[in-house]
Structure 1
Amino acid sequence: MSKKYDYLIVGSGLFGAVFAYQAKRSGKKVLVIDKRPQLGGNIYCENIAGVNVHKYGPHIFHTSNKTVWDFVTSLVEFNNFINMPLANYRGKLYNLPFNMNTFYALWGVTTPQEAAQKIAEQKRRAAAEPQNLEEQALALVGRDIYETLIKGYTEKQWGRQCTELPAFIIKRLPVRFTFDNNYFNDRYQGIPVGGYNKLSAALLQDVETKTGCDFFTDRSHWENLADKIVYTGEIDRYYDYKFGKLEYRSLRWETEILDCTNYQGSALVNYTEAAVPYTRIIEHKHFEFGTQAQTIISREYPAEWQEGAEPFYPINDAKNTALYNKYAELAQKEKNVIFGGRLAEYKYYDMDRVMGRALKSFEVGNRP
């Protein structure tokens, strides 16, 4: 007996939405469900006072993959936003990523040779074989950059001392000896004109969707609706935590409407001092060059993940990677379930990689 749908897609984030788009265009019958009250996953924007607020944290689309860029720009127009974040340490501002503007603010150096010499002097005092994140950072960029721009921010982000974090978290740190404040090296970059909800709407146009539906509250019902399932949630939950629970870091935001046109002059300012409890302030209107009379800011606070909280960052240490690999072995044996996205693959992905993987997954899953 044939089922009602070819695909049930669990989750309307980028992986699920891109897969749904491809499936619909190929004549497949598709149903997308999401446990949240709205579609779009973590790229969903809430309009407050005329400003598109990135409800689940800031998202800046960037890629060097022309196939993905051509795909996404065929759906929506992008503006020319360039990510140029700042770091605030004890009231002094530094440009990110580490570049000549950063080195001038730190040391007063004005040439690449002076900056390189300063870093080299500090690196020489670092451990030869880094055993933790602190030693790795010192080996890469030296003590001044580490203590001013890395240590406090990282310890807040992960809720652990840098000496307790594995070195591989920062295998490399971008250092530029040019006065270039563009955070990304990718060829293409921007924000959808009108916000990310426009992108979600374009991907899910004419696709049947249902919100407020938790796959696990009536699992057998949803499984019996479709021939195949595309699952984008936590992989350990799919298997009822049979090997144990994977660990995450979570986030929370405090959002304010301010009666001024411009609060900080930048979309993103990181607070790298340990004494400041939040990691950054997001001023949402700057993503779209807003001219509204008011502005909206969100202070971002890292948090330990607990049951019921949003899982944002996989903790890809040795213990959790070994646990994930057990679940991945089960997933590989599934004939009618496709796992995709950061939660199902227990890996932090940039948006372009999620989209690229979804395009590839649909292609592979539908080869004759």
Structure 2
Amino acid sequence: MKQYDFLIVGSGLYGAVFAHEAKKRGKKCLVIDKRAHKGGNVYCENVDGINVHKYGAHIFHTNDSAIWNYVNSFVEFNRYTNSPVAVYKGDLYNLPFNMNTFYQLWKVKTPAEAQHIIQEQVSSLNIKAPANLEEQALSLVGTDIYERLIKGYTEKQWGRKATELPAFIIKRLPVRFTYDNNYFNDKYQGIPVGGYNKLIDGLLEGIEVKLGCDYFEDKAYFDSLADKLVFTGKIDEFFDYRFGFLEYRSLRFEHERLEIANFQGNAVVNYTEREVPYTRIIEHKHFEFGTQKHTVITREFPKEWKGQSDEPYYPINDEKNTKIFGQYKQLAEECHQVIFGGRLAEYRYYDMHQVIGSCLKEVSRTFDL
């Protein structure tokens, strides 16, 4: 008989939710993580009372009342509403594209006026079958919005010209003809009061967690500890890159503490010019309505992913990578003692509520069917 029922590799949302649900069902779990902290990419570092999102801004939003109630059972969420601002050549614009944005662009005050300008610009381009991202975006919102608020930001994010990116990346663009700066349409939205660490700590309460443990450095030993494995890391690494590397976009963060109370007046400010090297500046205290005398900001720089030295953030779900992932997925389905879950193991971009939903479905399959 083995020491644990489940070895869970990774203490991010997927691993933490699975561990919590398994423990509720009387199972003994060991969670390991190669980082020096729990929580994966939702981890927050407390800087004199400000919870700094170390791996980029995480804003919880969902339409699923069951998932909203689930996370709130561990920690209270505040009423934060994401209303980013974009900067282009010194001018400010509200996001997502809405009547405030259109007034800033064209001084129009009615939906009809804004719709007329967009339709006029789109019609003049005469794009019948968009061949790339640039043409797709232009065919949806016209030239002004594209040039000022999409082109530079997108090219920085992907590290390629918009004409070299596939059209499917922008299937649609949210355009609202109301004066509404709320970025998300979801019914529920907020940030955990006291940061995401409280959510992770609640999920992992009473569960053995070992940090600084790299599963691949002693795979045979770790496998010997438990009857089943829950793996939340990179699926291609698990199979020793048998079919080649899956590709990602990565990020670099520059965190800076400033001895002023308020740097930019908003949690998220995007910089949409190609010439500005970062895509956005996050001011973390505004996520929790902080009143500290200091502040912490983070500049976010997209970058090429260069293997193990870089953190994999955004899967590149193009045709080539989708084909490679399909081969790994087939192998994964043959590993009956291993559960593959989460952003890296499923090679897809997940919002937080989607990670939790995916895990709870797997929990139901594993224990309740």
TMscore range, shorter length? over 0.9
Report percent identity of matched pairs. 65
1:15 aligns with 2:14: yes
The answer to whether the 8 Å contact 1:126/1:135 transfers is no
Report how far residue 259 of structure 1 moved: 1.3
CA distance in 2 between partners of 1:302 and 1:88 (Å): 17
CA distance in 2 between partners of 1:272 and 1:108 (Å): 20
1:44 aligns with 2:43: yes
CA distance in 2 between partners of 1:128 and 1:193 (Å): 48
- Runs of 4+, deviation exceeding 4 Å: none
CA deviation vs aligned residue, 1:126-182 (integer Å, no higher than 9, x gap): 411111100100111111111100000000000011111111111010000000000
1:235 aligns with 2:235: yes
Aligned counterpart, 2:188: 188
The answer to whether the 8 Å contact 1:81/1:189 transfers is yes
Aligned counterpart, 2:143: 143
Aligned counterpart, 1:60: 59
CA distance in 2 between partners of 1:321 and 1:115 (Å): 39
Aligned counterpart, 2:104: 105
How is 1:87-236 mapped onto 2 (pairs within 5 angstroms)? Answer: 87-124=86-123, 125-236=125-236
TM-score (norm 2): 0.98
Partner letter of residue 71 of structure 2? Answer: V
Partner letter of residue 157 of structure 1? Answer: Q
CA distance in 2 between partners of 1:327 and 1:184 (Å): 33
CA deviation vs aligned residue, 1:290-340 (integer Å, no higher than 9, x gap): 000001000000011112210000001111111111111111121111111
1:333 aligns with 2:334: yes
CA distance in 1 between partners of 2:164 and 2:337 (Å): 41
Report how far residue 70 of structure 1 moved: 1.1
TM-score (norm 1): 0.99
CA distance in 2 between partners of 1:354 and 1:230 (Å): 14
The answer to whether the 8 Å contact 1:283/1:298 transfers is yes
Aligned counterpart, 1:349: 350
How is 1:296-307 mapped onto 2 (pairs within 5 angstroms)? Answer: 296-307=296-307
The answer to whether the 8 Å contact 1:126/1:142 transfers is no
Q: Secondary structure at the match of 2:209?
A: strand
Partner letter of residue 312 of structure 1? Answer: Y
1:76 aligns with 2:75: yes
Report how far residue 367 of structure 1 moved: 3.4
Partner letter of residue 329 of structure 1? Answer: Q
CA distance in 2 between partners of 1:365 and 1:103 (Å): 50
Number of residue-to-residue matches in the alignment: 367
Aligned counterpart, 2:34: 35
The answer to whether the 8 Å contact 1:133/1:163 transfers is yes
Report how far residue 49 of structure 1 moved: 2.6
The answer to whether the 8 Å contact 1:126/1:138 transfers is no
Unaligned stretches of 5+ residues in structure 2: none
Unaligned stretches of 5+ residues in structure 1: none
CA deviation vs aligned residue, 1:60-80 (integer Å, no higher than 9, x gap): 000001110111111110100
CA distance in 2 between partners of 1:204 and 1:127 (Å): 52
